[in-house]
């Protein structure tokens, strides 16, 4: 009988960042739907500034990253927060501020902005 060793799991203390948010900034040619057409770059910049201003940026805290297409273009503009794997569809800067304050700072999901599960590409 062969025994298998379970894969290592990162405990909370092993996480380099407490939370990591990725913004799709993808721009599609030919007028196709994409996050870049919905001010994704401005939202990303605003999120980075808000996280920094709140003192949340850095190791053990929060990281804000650019991403290419996350393959949920029909729901765009989208961002996803890990480790919870919560997807958001935002509209404006106030939505970004709410995600920063509620989810990134306090770990509370902003339910009203959660991307509907059926929306993909």
Q: How far, in Å, CA of 53 to CA of 40, rounded?
A: 20
- Single out the residue of 35, 57, 39 nearest to residue 48, CA to CA: 57
Q: Which of 19, 26, 80, 115 binds ligand FES (CB under 6 A)?
A: 26
Q: Does 80 bind ligand FES (CB under 6 A)?
A: no
Interface with ligand FES (CB under 6 A), residue from 76, 79, 99, 115 = 76
Q: How many CB atoms lie within 10 A of CB 20?
A: 16
Q: How far is the CB of 34 from ligand FES (least distance, A)?
A: 4
Q: Is 35 in the site for ligand FES (CB under 6 A)?
A: yes
Burial degree of 116 (CB within 10 A; 0-12, 13-18, 19+): exposed
Question: Cα-flanking dihedrals φ and ψ of residue 111, to 5°?
Answer: -55, -40
Q: Does 104 bind ligand FES (CB under 6 A)?
A: no
Tell me if 47 contacts ligand FES by CB under 6 A: no
Residues that bind ligand FES (CB under 6 A): 24, 26, 34-35, 69-73, 76, 78
């Amino acid at each position: 009988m062969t025994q298998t060793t379970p894969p290592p799991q990162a405990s909370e203390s092993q996480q380099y960042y407490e939370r990591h948010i990725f913004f799709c900034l993808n721009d599609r040619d030919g007028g196709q739907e994409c996050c870049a057409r919905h001010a994704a770059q401005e939202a990303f910049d605003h999120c980075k500034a808000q996280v920094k201003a709140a003192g949340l940026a850095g190791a053990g805290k929060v990281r804000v990253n650019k991403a290419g297409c996350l393959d949920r273009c029909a729901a765009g503009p989208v961002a996803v927060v890990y480790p919870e794997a919560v997807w958001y569809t935002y509209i404006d800067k106030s939505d970004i501020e709410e995600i920063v304050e509620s989810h990134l700072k306090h770990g509370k999901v902003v339910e009203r902005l959660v991307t509907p599960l059926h929306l993909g590409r």
